Amino acid sequence: MNEVKVLAPATVSNVVCGFDCLGFALAEPCDEMTIRRSKEQVVRIINHDDYGLPTDPTKNVAGVALNALIAAAGLDHGFEVEITKNIKPGSGIGSSAASACGAVVAANRLLDDRFSKTELVEFAMAGETLASGSRHADNLAPCIYGGFTLVRSTEPLDIVSIDFPPLCATVIHPQIEIKTSEARSILPKEVPLKEAIRNWSNLGSLVAALAQGDYGLLARSMEDTIVEPVRKSLIPKFDEVKAASLAAGAFGGGISGSGPSVFMLSESESIAESVEAAMRYVYNPTGIPYNTYVSIIHSEGVRFV
Ligand code: HSE
């Protein structure tokens, strides 16, 4: 086998009260990637889109992730990777994670799957750190494991897959730029104990709600009094989108990753489509261009095609 093609899915991280640790995989949108061995011990990147992402492997998340894998495997060859990004960079739905994860999962297949999923997340984290300036795996873990994942620890990596009931996500991506590094820099450095207690109670309940399929508890647990109140000021009409989505039947939701995308979770595709219509109704008068997505939570991460 000399060539592998993969679809690397968008992911939603944080999931309201799971800042930097909880995430889930969507079925779409996905980046399309083809990877093949190359004789030289270098990574060559070919971008098939108009985003102007770097082709220098030391500045491209896929390149950095592949270099980490090459070093760990002690390879005497490199890889050529073709990337068609369908997940817009800076959207808040794990665009850089998809590039990094797609690259290492595909390369690993060319190496007869010698690395574990956790090891692949570790390599991808080298790329993600380049993109966001901080070491977190809340998009990477679901992108590789699929479904809902909780990153208990990044050093060492400890990833927990969480069972979940049927759920559908609606995402609105306003076409405004929010840099993850800036969205992180405005966050409080310290959290009052009272708020911390409220948050870990919600996160524990959210995980239990997913595992038990308890939609009522899921709805009650999607509350964030630490990050969302600060970051929502970066997203026009955030409160209105949330209120309209809840009125349309969503269980709850919030900022996807560091934004600007906003996600909502619903029990079925038909409710998720009503939520999409409600989001559009709020955004149409703003004149801000946006995309929307409706997708099931996908139990698989990077998929082979
Ligand atoms: N958990 C991260 C954040 C996701 O919210 O800053 C973005 O990489």
| Beta carbon of 13 within 6 Å of any ligand 1 atom | yes
What's the confidence (pLDDT) of residue 18? 98
Q: What's the rounded Cα separation, in Å, for the pair 126 and 122? A: 7
For residues 57 and 66, is the Cβ–Cβ distance under 8 A? yes
Q: What's the rounded Cα separation, in Å, for the pair 170 and 29? A: 12
Encode pLDDT of 214-234 as tens digits. 999 999 999 999 999 999 999
For residues 271 and 294, is the Cβ–Cβ distance under 8 A? no
Domains of the chain: which residue ranges?
Answer: 3-162+300-304, 168-295
| Beta carbon of 274 within 6 Å of any ligand 1 atom | no
What is the DSSP-derived secondary structure letter of residue 185?
H
| Beta carbon of 180 within 6 Å of any ligand 1 atom | yes
Ligand 1 atom nearest to 184, measured from its CA: 6
What's the confidence (pLDDT) of residue 134? 80
- Choosing from 119, 122, 128, 276, the catalytic residue is 128
Write the residue with the smallest CA distance to atom 3 of ligand 1.
258
Fold of 168-295: Alpha-Beta Plaits (3.30.70)
Same fold: 3-162+300-304 with 168-295: no
Query: What are the residues whose beta carbons fall under 8 Å from the beta carbon of 173, sequence distance 6 or more?
Result: 88, 91, 92, 93, 260, 261, 290, 291, 292, 293
- Which among 24, 139, 203 is the best mutation to test ligand 1's pocket, defined by most ligand atoms within 8 Å of the CB? 139
Write the residue with the smallest CA distance to atom 1 of ligand 1.
20
Task: Please tell me the pTM assigned to this model.
Answer: 0.96
Domain 3-162+300-304: assigned CATH number: 3.30.230.10
251 φψ region: left (φ > 0), alpha (ψ -120 to 50), beta (else):
alpha
H helix or E strand, kind and range, residue 159: strand 157-162
For each successive 10 residues of the chain (305 residues), what is the average pLDDT? 94 98 97 95 92 92 96 95 95 96 98 97 92 88 98 96 98 94 93 98 98 98 98 97 98 97 98 98 98 97 97
Closest by CA position to 8, among listed 269, 305, 303 = 303
304 Cα: distance to centroid of ligand 1 (angstroms):
26
Token pair recorded at residue 208: 């239990």
| Beta carbon of 60 within 6 Å of any ligand 1 atom | no
